[in-house]
Amino acid sequence: MAMRIFAERRSIRRYGDRPVEEEKLSEVLEAARLAPSWANMQCWTYIVVRDPGVKEAIAATLEGNPIQKAVTSAPVLIVACADPEKSGNVNGQPYYMLDIGISMQQLMLEAWNQGLGTCWVGWIKEDEIRSILGVPQNIRVVALTPLGYPAVLPDAPPRKPLEEIVRHDRW
Ligand SMILES: Cc1cc2nc3c(=O)[nH]c(=O)nc-3n(C[C@H](O)[C@H](O)[C@H](O)COP(=O)(O)O)c2cc1C
């Protein structure tokens, strides 16, 4: 069942009007909540945006991004924020990015399981979105995703074959 979701999940950039049921939204957020994190510090905060005016304002910051239109047409927008102080930093690797990435991916896979589409949006103007949403300066706005029923299911983009990405016993 998990493998089917891994294989079939797609980044959705066209959404229908059908609203997202509150129970489904709760399940999706619950999946994010259950994610593992550095020392279990759970550095994340999710902002659920339904206000059309706020969605419009965020969409206006996404000029040139292929997701721009979907940000207003999807019924819900989820903005992933992280507190770097609530995670580790080892060998120059800021683990809050990993924590929020794992949590967001759990959210997205559960969304697909519920018949809902999402799309990672990482190419953002962080300061503009922070200001629209009133996010404190010490909190990073890492990514966002629309959430809604897919209107168009794109073909699967290719992935590298296993032989190309797996090495055995050494590099
Ligand atoms: C960290 C990250 C950032 C991304 N940022 C964007 C983005 O800003 N805009 C967009 O349309 N898609 C974005 N994507 C979606 C990728 O383009 C997409 O996952 C990839 O092409 C593979 O397609 P699939 O998700 O349907 O398998 C992002 C994906 C990841 C993982």
| Domain residue ranges in the chain | 2-165
Q: Is the dihedral of CA 143, 146, 147, 153 positive or negative?
A: negative
Report the separation in Å between the CA atom of 156 and the middle of ligand 1, taken as the mean of its atom positions: 12
**140 forms bridges with which residues in the sheet?**
82
Largest CA distance in the chain: 54
Q: How many C-beta neighbours within 10 Å does residue 20 have?
A: 21
Q: What is the pLDDT of residue 88?
A: 97
Cα-based distances in Å from 38 to 32, 43, 47, 60, 73: 14, 8, 21, 34, 35
> In this structure, which CATH number among 3.20.20.210, 3.40.50.300, 3.40.109.10, 3.30.420.40 belongs to the domain 2-165?
3.40.109.10
Task: Give residue-wise pLDDT tens across range 107-152.
Answer: 999 999 999 999 999 999 999 999 999 999 999 999 999 999 999 9
**Quick one: average pLDDT of 42-54?**
98
Task: Give residue-wise pLDDT tens across range 49-91.
Answer: 999 999 999 999 999 999 999 999 999 999 999 999 999 999 9
Nearest residue (CA) to ligand 1, atom 14 = 120
Instruction: Please state the atom number of ligand 1 nearest to the C-alpha of residue 67.
Output: 11
**52 forms bridges with which residues in the sheet?**
none
Report the separation in Å between the CA atom of 131 and the middle of ligand 1, taken as the mean of its atom positions: 24
Q: What is the model's pTM?
A: 0.97
Instruction: Please state the atom number of ligand 1 nearest to the C-alpha of residue 12.
Output: 26
Residue type at 84? P
Pocket-forming residues, ligand 1, beta carbon under 6 Å? 10-11, 65-67, 119-123, 157
Nearest residue (CA) to ligand 1, atom 18 = 11
Q: What is the pLDDT of residue 11?
A: 98
Report the separation in Å between the CA atom of 14 and the middle of ligand 1, taken as the mean of its atom positions: 14
Q: What is the pLDDT of residue 147?
A: 98
